[in-house]
Structure 1
Amino acid sequence: MSESPPSPEKSAPLLTPGEAIHCVGLALRDSLRPRLLAVSLGVWLGTLLVLAILYALAWTPITSALDTASRFLVLGVPHWFGWEPEPASLIGKTAAGLITVVQYVLGLISFVLATLLVARVILEMVLMGQVQSVVLRRYPSLQGLVQRPWRADVRDLLGNLSTLIAGTLLCLCIPLIGAALLVLLNAYLNVRGLINDAFDGVASAEQQRTFIRQQRGQMLLAGLLLAGLALIPFVGLLMPGVLGATTCHLGFRWLERQYEDR
């Protein structure tokens, strides 16, 4: 019979700031294992396939939405009431050029956000179990302690996606600091969104809530470190495996300390 999980009231001390860095280092080493290499490549190939299908089926609505958004950003509220500058005038030529530039910028931002979103969903729904099984080899005492219903996975996925989409739209509406807030939000949610899958079968729902409540700073720090690493070309290809493994290490090391304090 499996051992009952410890009570969250006896939780371990908060992890030190260097713990996130250590977990990212462990994840980088794990990401070079053939199984996690396959996970990372599988995530990117699946993402490219999904986006190719999406753009092929919805190219006209996407370009129309980008054109509408760019015209609103350049021309403002009067555009909604039918005002357009004369195309031959200096204002008209300047506005046309700005609209084109803004359109390309919005298209690039949309593509990057869509890529990150689809990759996260594929990793969370399909391949996170593979990452967890690789990382769990370092933590044999944690395997198979609890059972997690599939409904909880669906509920968590919908909750994380709704938070990401709503938060992204809100950040884009905030001038000046909106971009910085968007980076922080995505860095945090990239790790937070995988915690429940990392804890699948090794921690109770109560323990998961305790971890999330105590370790928000660690998850944000880990997410920011991973965002920086993603800018390195080769490491960027490994990022799905690194992200999943970092999340697992953060959770498993915290959980091991709980058991040690019993």
Structure 2
Amino acid sequence: MRLLKKYEFNGGIKGFKLGWSVAGPPLMTVYCYLFGNVMIDTAQPHMAKEVVDIARENKIGQIFLTHHHEDHSGNAAVIQKKFGTKVFGHEQCIIKMKHGYPILPYQKYIWGKTTPLDILPFSEKIETSLGTMIPIHTPGHSRDHTVFFLPEKGIIFSGDLYLGDRIRFFRADEDIGFQIDSLKKVANLDFDTLLCAHNPREKNGKGHVRLKLEFLEELYERVIALWKQGLFEKEIFRKLRLKEDYFTKYFCFGNVSMLNGVRSVIRHHENRA
């Protein structure tokens, strides 16, 4: 099944929701956003045909990547090759995209594999049809993660920083401590529209960011309190009555799970000690 839905957001921003599966509804979907000649993220490689058509029809001249993960960078190379489009990313994203990176079988199945390419560093301020756009480094979900802020419109393209008010599972390589710092940084900005790559919030975006921040701060504090009492990871998980999505955990070979959240908190705390 190939899913493509178009949405209109504040400021005339177009959002395209894309999903793919061998049969039945896609397990996961992702958005890419367009305004003027700008595209924010490029969706999954499995949907290359649709995304290339979108880029052609909208005369996309610049692509800005929130981070290197394959559901965000997946079609940057093919668009660049076909149209000579300039692609920009954080310095750590540039390294990842230049040399490529390994992915697990479930990632290749759901999204497809990203093609390496050379991308450019973005400037501190980017002039667009909606005014100045400011890239803000927000590590935690990945080291290169960046959000893009349109202060004149009160809009943030948040990549995977938000995802939801409460999180049911975490990637093994995520750092919750850094995510908390990044969410605090974004929560201090003046915006209302939060254009998340998986769960956009057109109204009260800042409120949703604060809800996620509160959720992660509470989780962090409770995990560390039990860790200091001498409990181990799985004991903490049971003590806090956290729930595991076992289908997701085993489908993703343990790379995505709620237990990873406990591990991330402990790892961050120990590294800062």
TM-score range, shorter chain: under 0.3
Point out the structure with max Rg over C-alpha.
Answer: 1
Quick check: which one's helix share is greater?
A: 1
TM-score by length of 1: 0.25
Higher relative contact order (CA 8 A, sep 6+): 1
Quick check: which one's strand share is greater?
A: 2
TM-score by length of 2: 0.24
